[in-house]
Amino acid sequence: MALIVHKYGGTSMGSVERIKNVAKRVAKWHKAGHRMVVVPSAMSGETNRLLGLAKEISAHPDPRELDMIAATGEQVSVGLLALALKAEGLDAVSYAGWQVAVKTDSAFTKARISEIDSERVLKDLDEGKVVVITGFQGVDPNGHITTLGRGGSDTSAVAMAAALGADECLIYTDVDGVYTTDPRVVDDARRLDKITFEEMLEMASLGSKVLQIRSVEFAGKYQVKTRVLSSLTDPLCPLEQEMRSGTLITFEEDDTMEKAVISGIAFQRDEGKITVRGVPDRPGIAYQILGPIADANIDVDMIIQNQSVEGKTDFTFTVGRGEYQRAMEILKTSVQAHVGAAEIVGDPKVSKVSVVGVGMRSHVGIASTAFRTLAEEGINIQMISTSEIKISVLIDEKYMELAVRALHKAFELDQA
């Protein structure tokens, strides 16, 4: 008898009919003798709707209140799912994050889980109950409700699996696994049976929203066996078949791993690029520019500082598009005069496309293939960043899909 955590995303919970299907699937696992914990997201579109309401009232809503509002989406889901499970004849109980408790820091809208009390859940499981716990939310040391950032239910589920010492965490979603790239952008994208933890970490951090990056970090840190699979199959399909479907995240390369040099193409559509022009090239300048950005809790992604000419240099970095305006305001009001920059310019419509693969470590020429492919498509590269297992380029948003398709083909990712 195994302890299993299931996570169901927004589409999987998108209607009463789908919630009933989730309940049927969970009941099938429970009847097979497994102890079941289920972590659902809000119904699809609900989190956006809730955040939209807040924006109608305030252009810059208080993040604490935003979390109070956004967290309700998942509370509806757990209640409905518990009812559906009871209708299947199971004993089910639903909890909001704070009731368990899922403890987080106080970084509203992007809180991090620090600890999970497993006692209450384990007691319920011992009593034969199916435990349904909200994704995406927790409680901070002052008792305030927090949320974990968009897509955070993945992290809730994997962290819960880690805290409970679960045998497996199954992430049910609207595609049947992790693909070589987003199958909604490239028709020829291919599902991977397995992906290494390292590659999944890169793919997620570079924009593949199939898993939130922090969920992959948790999986790695606590060695949680994690699988991504479809919730849209027949909920009563044979368990054996379901257990082998989807994509397994592996922690060691083994002989059965595909020997591809490149495992996938990831992209982040919504980026903004900011350049601080003509700053004096002296110690402390990067800190003076990026310090106030970090203080405002804005994540900075790619960074480039040009060679200086006559003691002056240009400093360019990217932020998420949603934070572009705020970053610009901060730079113009409190940084430009202070550092003596000539001007601050930006482009809010850029995208990042990344080629990912552990095989890059042992193969040369990957970067040149990527650059040649983009050149042949007439796509200008604005910034480049690399690590041992990825190459990222920043390009004009309008060429993003073209770039993803071209790179996917150039690295023969469509071919098994």
Residue 152 interacting partner from ligand ASP, Mg ion, ligand ADP, none (CB closer than 5 to 8 Å by kind): ligand ASP
| Contact flag: residue 138 with ligand ADP (CB under 6 A) | no
Contact pattern for ligand ASP over residues 57 through 96, marking x by CB under 6 A: ----------------x-----------------------
From 145-153, 161-169, 239-247, 286-294, span contacting ligand ASP (CB under 6 A):
145-153
Least Cα distance to 40 among 64, 57, 15 occurs for 15
User: 8 or 324, CB closer to ligand ASP?
Assistant: 8
From 139-147, 180-188, 296-304, 354-362, span contacting ligand ADP (CB under 6 A):
180-188
Please give the Cα distance from 358 to 262 (Å, whole number): 7
Least Cβ distance, residue 45 to ligand ASP (angstroms): 9
Largest Cα–Cα separation, the chain: 77
Question: What order do you get walking across the sheet with 137-139 strand by strand?
Answer: 113-116, 102-104, 137-139, 145-147
Residue 407 backbone class (left: φ over 0; alpha: ψ -120 to 50; beta: rest): alpha
Least Cα distance to 389 among 178, 182, 186, 197 occurs for 197
Please give the Cα distance from 171 to 168 (Å, whole number): 10
| Contact flag: residue 151 with Mg ion (CB under 5 A) | yes
Footprint (CB under 6 A) of ligand ASP, residues 33-52: 41-42, 47
| Contact flag: residue 135 with ligand ASP (CB under 6 A) | yes
Q: Give phi and psi for 316, each to the nearest 5.
A: -120, 140
> Would you state the structure tokens that stand for residue 361, as one six-digit string?
């470590």
Least Cα distance to 74 among 165, 158, 123, 145 occurs for 145
Place of tokens 């009463």: 16
What's the N-to-C CA distance of the chain in angstroms?
A: 36
Residue 136 interacting partner from ligand ASP, ligand ADP, Mg ion, none (CB closer than 5 to 8 Å by kind): ligand ASP
Least Cβ distance, residue 154 to Mg ion (angstroms): 6
Total interface residues for ligand ADP by CB under 6 A: 20
From 174-182, 236-244, 305-313, 314-322, span contacting ligand ADP (CB under 6 A):
174-182
| Contact flag: residue 411 with ligand ADP (CB under 6 A) | no
Q: Which residues bind ligand ADP (CB under 6 A)?
A: 9-12, 41, 151, 173-175, 178-179, 181-184, 203, 208-210, 264
Interacting residues with ligand ASP (CB under 6 A):
9-10, 41-42, 47, 73, 135-136, 150-154
